[in-house]
Structure 1
Amino acid sequence: MQAHFASTAELTRIPEVVVVIDVMRAFTVAAWAFAQGAERIVLAETLEQARTLKGRHPDWVALKDGPPAPGFDTVNSPGKLRSLELSGRTLVQKTSNGTAGAQAARHASLLMCASFTVAAATARLLRDRNATDVTFVITGEDGQADEDLACAQYIAELTRDPNADPAPYLHRAAASAAAADLAGGLRLGYQGIHAEDVALCLEANRFSFAMTATLDGPLMTLRSSPIPTR
């Protein structure tokens, strides 16, 4: 498989197969939402769209980056989300990096969203689809986020070697600016951060599903794709 790594801004031409990476924290949160029973996640284009969808569908669960805000049920934190009962629920998610990256690649033939938690399942789906050319979108820090790049490189390596060791990649993510920012925010008592967020973002292959995004009319919808082991 030929792997390419690009920032969201560099997606001037939409490749056939795209994997959008946001380790800290959008697509770790999404993975936990599916693990908690969520049926689907609508990836909103703007905060206003997220609020509007929540207003139209009061039973949907809306979440965003940063501190709690009117019109949203929770925040973009895996530590906070994993305590919620989400069976059969629809979520609306808007974040600064992850959902924006997915929207930029919305017309890819195969669009996946990933973090370390679903890395092996993502690689397995790429192999099952016989993907020979894959673009990984590094959403953080204008394409420079090392936690996202490390995750993308780990997934690419898993497509070649399903037994690839995650440890070197997780070490890079743990030493990233994003991890330091979350730890610093926690020390300062910022709302919207949970004490276990960084640790949860650094769990490799916790879940046995990949996450694929498709367009449902005007809305981009993320769903889990169980990957059987064999």
Structure 2
Amino acid sequence: MDPRFLGIPELTTEAPSVAVVVDVMRACTVAAWAFARGAERIVLTGTLDEALALKARHPDWAALKDGPPAPGFDLVNSPGQLRSADLGGRTVVQKTTAGTVGALAVRDASLVLCAGFVVAEATARVLRERAPDEVTYVVTGEDGRADEDLACAQYIAGRAAGGSPDPAGYLRRAAASRAAAELTQGVRRGSHPDDVALCLELDRFPFAMVAAEEDALLVLRRYDGNP
């Protein structure tokens, strides 16, 4: 299982066979929390206008974005704020700076997984079961340089290959990342003081998250087994 670690700008027009989109702080962690809070599915969008248009057509959907609260949006991209939300049976529309962009960039892959530390082992388990020859890990933050995303991707790759890497070093790298510092210092608006800690909870959830086309939309769903 040959791993490749690429930033969004490095992705070619040819879709990878299997892609793992990693956004630790915070889109993929938030998506996992949304499922834990009862969301049925998450529609990943490329623009705020698209998210608002979907919300307008489906008033019962919950729209989520990066940054501070804004008109038309119900939620912000913060696990600390989302953990108390009641999303039972609802569709969430998610638009973020990096995570949703990375997923949309590989939407034509035969298998698209979205991951963070909170679903690391469940993601690796799907890869072990599928045993692809090659896996492209999309390191979404900072054009592929975000160390929290790269550390998580490398950890998942080690687990997917059947190894038992010590997670401590990977989690330390993520905790020392630029994103973690900006969240801790309140630089990133729409955050919660617990966001960094929640993003670094290894294997908090037992499910993987798989994205696939549904009615011309890229839809993320919870998977407790092999898709």
TM-score band by shorter chain is over 0.9
Q: Which residue of structure 1 lines up, in the alignment, with residue 70 of structure 2?
A: 69
2:215 and 2:225 mapped to 1: Cα distance? 26
Amino acid at match of 2:10: E
Q: Which residue of structure 2 lines up, in the alignment, with residue 209 of structure 1?
A: 207
Preserved CA contact (<8 Å) 1:101 1:139: yes
My pick for the range that moved more, 155-164 or 7-16, is 155-164
Q: Which residue of structure 1 lines up, in the alignment, with residue 140 of structure 2?
A: 139
Q: Which residue of structure 2 lines up, in the alignment, with residue 219 of structure 1?
A: 217
Question: Does 1:31 find its partner at 2:32?
Answer: yes
Q: Which residue of structure 1 lines up, in the alignment, with residue 193 of structure 2?
A: 195
1:208 and 1:41 mapped to 2: Cα distance? 18
1:37 and 1:131 mapped to 2: Cα distance? 31
Unpaired runs of 5+ residues, structure 2, are: none
Percent identical across equivalent pairs? 63
Preserved CA contact (<8 Å) 2:128 2:162: no
Displacement after TM superposition at 1:161 (Å): 3.3
Aligned pair count reads 225
Runs of 4+ in 1 over 6 A off after TM superposition: none
Taking a change above 3 Å as real, the CA distance of residues 227 and 208 of structure 1, as seen in their structure-2 partners, is farther
Amino acid at match of 1:144: R
1:71 alignment partner, SS class: coil
Question: Does 1:182 find its partner at 2:183?
Answer: yes
Preserved CA contact (<8 Å) 2:158 2:164: no
Residues 104-143 of structure 1 aligned to structure 2 (within 5 Å) = 104-143=105-144
Q: Which residue of structure 2 lines up, in the alignment, with residue 79 of structure 1?
A: 80
Root-mean-square deviation over aligned CA pairs: 1.2
TM-score, scaled relative to structure 2: 0.96
2:163 and 2:30 mapped to 1: Cα distance? 24
Q: Which residue of structure 1 lines up, in the alignment, with residue 2 of structure 2?
A: 2
Preserved CA contact (<8 Å) 1:42 1:222: yes
Q: Which residue of structure 2 lines up, in the alignment, with residue 93 of structure 1?
A: 94
Preserved CA contact (<8 Å) 1:208 1:227: no
Amino acid at match of 1:100: V
Amino acid at match of 1:111: V
TM-score, scaled relative to structure 1: 0.95
Amino acid at match of 1:3: P
1:62 and 1:170 mapped to 2: Cα distance? 30
Preserved CA contact (<8 Å) 1:120 1:162: no
1:162 and 1:199 mapped to 2: Cα distance? 25
Amino acid at match of 2:25: M
Preserved CA contact (<8 Å) 1:22 1:138: yes
Displacement after TM superposition at 1:191 (Å): 4.4
